[in-house]
A and B are shown apart, each in its own frame.
Chain A
């Protein structure tokens, strides 16, 4: 009996020690997860460089790609519950409510020198929280207008520098469009969330008052909406039913003289003879003044709940760099964020119809400092305005009335000061 007891005691000592020793021998590799949008571009680019990254760093990377709405939901839920499933997240200003859950990247940026060579002002345009930078930029785009340069040239029209000039030119544009049996302007009015684009690109007033409340600068906002009302008269008759794809398809089919759109959604197809009837015939216009085009700026954030923030940073650096900036643009059409890509002689020549205006628009574009709720409401009221249910004055007053009840997230307020959108 004593022997049995002795054996049991020895076993209980040996087993944990051997398990511990065995565990020590094979240390689990550092692993990080990157969540981003399943767009067939950003995610494909990440997949492409993943093997090389894992080989060079020994870090195990998991790429979790979701459609936009799911991505937003997964990221926010992960952060709000403190789960830490995703170490590195892809997002934009719509994540403002959860900025406090991201780590400050200041030390990493300082140590690595990241930011040199980015498009002018892009480090400032990245999201900040309590004075610290929390986002790194990639894949930028600015709402803009593609137009049929061939037909403009034929009619002796030149791209206007201001909105006043643009509005004055509209009747001539319509005449050109009519003579070719096409729409003057197409826009995805059927995608409700896109409605603010027409407003942002003409509005240079404030969004936040001195005392930190959401508000549109009334007179400027009314003026913009009155301009838009005039502009809507030149839109395709069915523009309120067009999705982004519908509107893009119409321009690609050669059935529209111009299109107001996210250029990155259409440029690759517009230059592809298999998908477009306008190859070599279009150009991107420099966004007229005043106003600040709507900026889409994907950013990489590192979660506060990541167990491996250093590894997460290494991945961010592997993903966003000058070499990949060129490669990703050439291969996947991802918008470049480095100045050098726009100055690359080969690309500059090939994309002379796109690069100059795009880099100009990007430097002027900003993210509006709007929370999800304020922007959704804004978009819906603009939708009602577009349908003629409200006039400009009523729309602006309705927006301001609701906005007065909505809180401004601290982070957005901070960014609005940096980008000059506060009274």
Chain B
């Protein structure tokens, strides 16, 4: 009787969930599957309004052979690794020094979070002006030291560094917020016990804080790696992929293929390659997180 009742309850619950599941299927699964099917066809919007013949893996093979795609992939990876590393590092440092409840610390935190609430396009435009080699604020400040500032957006490597800096500036606050939440969850008793045992600031950091915030760090790592792989706004507004191909990331490549050249099927294939790569990274991080958890906490 009890089992029957529970089953009925489950069925009713499932019935209530059905509309939501349907919406998710229609809104997310259908476009995804449609784009997947498009990636195996030939379709250039300028030639035809409807998808053309089945071409198998041709679009995927084309992507692997396309030096622009391969280069864009490399740049995306470089961008992703560099930006995420510094965001986690700076995010933790800033959170560590601004955790607390005094007025000054709260004010500092509020100011630190501000870049995150600026629209990425506006952020890119502001930075483009600041990095202007002639009239930009950055070079003016450098000029006060008697040094001539470099051409930030005109030299390939510096342009890439510049867009990484922009991302770090905008998204370090996200890491700060998450790390602050992690730090405030550490029980005060642990600090007290450590101090009683004679632990100094560095030992507390090494043996209490870092192990405790490791799960939180994984969240930041996961979100930022995925997000930096999908970056487009800041690059679109500052360098537009240039000079040359030096900041041409994969999302910009997909945007160009789909919306400038109307190569829908090729853009779909490139998007799927990016998605697979993003998923692989996400799963690897989650597996790594489980391993670390086991080692640290035995769970």
- The answer to whether A binds B is yes
**Distance from B25 Cβ to chain A, minimum over Cβ atoms (Å):** 25
- How far is it, in angstroms, between the C-alpha of A26 and the C-alpha of B133 when the chains are bound? 61
Q: Are A241 and B151 in contact (CB under 8 A)?
A: yes
- Tell me what chain B mostly uses at the interface: helix, strand, loop, or mixed: loop
Q: Are A387 and B132 in contact (CB under 8 A)?
A: no
Q: Are B46 and A409 in contact (CB under 8 A)?
A: yes
- How far is it, in angstroms, between the C-alpha of A241 and the C-alpha of B259 when the chains are bound? 27
Asked if A84 CB lies within 8 Å of chain B CBs, one says no
Q: Are A97 and B46 in contact (CB under 8 A)?
A: yes
Task: Identify the stretch in A217-225, A295-303, A378-386 within 8 Å (CB) of chain B at 4 or more residues.
Answer: A378-386
Q: Are B245 and A241 in contact (CB under 8 A)?
A: no
- How far is it, in angstroms, between the C-alpha of A402 and the C-alpha of B68 when the chains are bound? 10
Asked if A271 CB lies within 8 Å of chain B CBs, one says no
- How far is it, in angstroms, between the C-alpha of A239 and the C-alpha of B151 when the chains are bound? 9
Task: Identify the stretch in A60-68, A153-161, A369-377 within 8 Å (CB) of chain B at 4 or more residues.
Answer: A369-377
Please classify how large the interface on chain A is, using the bins under 10, 10 to 19, 20 to 34, 35 or more: 20 to 34
- How far is it, in angstroms, between the C-alpha of A80 and the C-alpha of B50 when the chains are bound? 10
Asked if B242 CB lies within 8 Å of chain A CBs, one says yes
Residue among B45, B151, B260 making CB contact with A240, cutoff 8 Å: B151
- Tell me what chain A mostly uses at the interface: helix, strand, loop, or mixed: helix
Asked if B213 CB lies within 8 Å of chain A CBs, one says no
Asked if B261 CB lies within 8 Å of chain A CBs, one says yes
- How far is it, in angstroms, between the C-alpha of A250 and the C-alpha of B134 when the chains are bound? 10
Q: Are A389 and B46 in contact (CB under 8 A)?
A: no
**Distance from A330 Cβ to chain B, minimum over Cβ atoms (Å):** 31
**Distance from B99 Cβ to chain A, minimum over Cβ atoms (Å):** 40
- How far is it, in angstroms, between the C-alpha of A383 and the C-alpha of B240 when the chains are bound? 12
Q: Are A381 and B244 in contact (CB under 8 A)?
A: yes
Q: Are B261 and A387 in contact (CB under 8 A)?
A: no
**Distance from A195 Cβ to chain B, minimum over Cβ atoms (Å):** 9
Q: Which of A365-409 contact B (CB under 8 A)?
A: 371-373, 376-377, 380-381, 383-384, 386-387, 389, 402, 409
Q: Are B259 and A380 in contact (CB under 8 A)?
A: no
Instruction: Scan B242-281; emit 1 where CB is below 8 A from any A CB, else 0.
Output: 1111001000000010011111000000000000000000
Q: Are B240 and A240 in contact (CB under 8 A)?
A: no
- How far is it, in angstroms, between the C-alpha of A366 and the C-alpha of B49 when the chains are bound? 31
- How far is it, in angstroms, between the C-alpha of A80 and the C-alpha of B49 when the chains are bound? 7
Q: Are B45 and A80 in contact (CB under 8 A)?
A: yes
Asked if A290 CB lies within 8 Å of chain B CBs, one says no
Asked if B18 CB lies within 8 Å of chain A CBs, one says no
Asked if A246 CB lies within 8 Å of chain B CBs, one says yes
Asked if A192 CB lies within 8 Å of chain B CBs, one says yes
Q: Are A371 and B261 in contact (CB under 8 A)?
A: yes
Q: Are B262 and A190 in contact (CB under 8 A)?
A: no
Q: Which of A219-249 contact B (CB under 8 A)?
A: 238-243, 246, 249
**Distance from A421 Cβ to chain B, minimum over Cβ atoms (Å):** 20
Closest to B128 in A: A243
Q: Are A189 and B156 in contact (CB under 8 A)?
A: no
Asked if A105 CB lies within 8 Å of chain B CBs, one says no
Q: Are B262 and A97 in contact (CB under 8 A)?
A: yes
Q: Are A238 and B134 in contact (CB under 8 A)?
A: yes
Please give, as numbers and ranges, the residues of chain A lying within 8 Å of B244 by CB-CB distance.
192, 380-381, 383-384, 387, 389
- How far is it, in angstroms, between the C-alpha of A48 and the C-alpha of B131 when the chains are bound? 38
Asked if A98 CB lies within 8 Å of chain B CBs, one says yes
Q: Give the number of residues in B that approach A within 8 Å (Cβ atoms).
A: 28
- How far is it, in angstroms, between the C-alpha of A189 and the C-alpha of B153 when the chains are bound? 11
Closest to B239 in A: A192
**Distance from A238 Cβ to chain B, minimum over Cβ atoms (Å):** 5
- How far is it, in angstroms, between the C-alpha of A246 and the C-alpha of B134 when the chains are bound? 8
Q: Which of A247-286 contact B (CB under 8 A)?
A: 249-250
Contact status of A241 and B46, CB under 8 A, knowing A373-B260, A389-B244: no
Asked if A73 CB lies within 8 Å of chain B CBs, one says yes
Asked if B124 CB lies within 8 Å of chain A CBs, one says no
Q: Are B243 and A73 in contact (CB under 8 A)?
A: no
Contact status of A73 and B259, CB under 8 A, knowing A98-B46, A384-B244: yes
Please give, as numbers and ranges, the residues of chain A lying within 8 Å of B245 by CB-CB distance.
380, 383-384
**Distance from B198 Cβ to chain A, minimum over Cβ atoms (Å):** 56
Residue among A238, A249, A377 making CB contact with B133, cutoff 8 Å: A238
Q: Are B154 and A189 in contact (CB under 8 A)?
A: yes
Q: Are B248 and A380 in contact (CB under 8 A)?
A: yes
**Distance from A233 Cβ to chain B, minimum over Cβ atoms (Å):** 16
- How far is it, in angstroms, between the C-alpha of A384 and the C-alpha of B242 when the chains are bound? 9
**Distance from A254 Cβ to chain B, minimum over Cβ atoms (Å):** 15
Q: Are A190 and B153 in contact (CB under 8 A)?
A: yes
**Distance from B263 Cβ to chain A, minimum over Cβ atoms (Å):** 8
- How far is it, in angstroms, between the C-alpha of A125 and the C-alpha of B240 when the chains are bound? 30
- How far is it, in angstroms, between the C-alpha of A380 and the C-alpha of B159 when the chains are bound? 14
Closest to B129 in A: A243
**Distance from A249 Cβ to chain B, minimum over Cβ atoms (Å):** 8
- How far is it, in angstroms, between the C-alpha of A76 and the C-alpha of B68 when the chains are bound? 25
Could you list 7 A-B pairs, sorted by A, with CB under 8 Å? A97-B261, A192-B239, A193-B240, A238-B133, A241-B153, A373-B256, A376-B260
Please list the residues of chain B having a beta carbon within 8 angstroms of any beta carbon in chain A.
Answer: 45-46, 49, 68, 132-135, 151-156, 239-245, 248, 256, 259-263
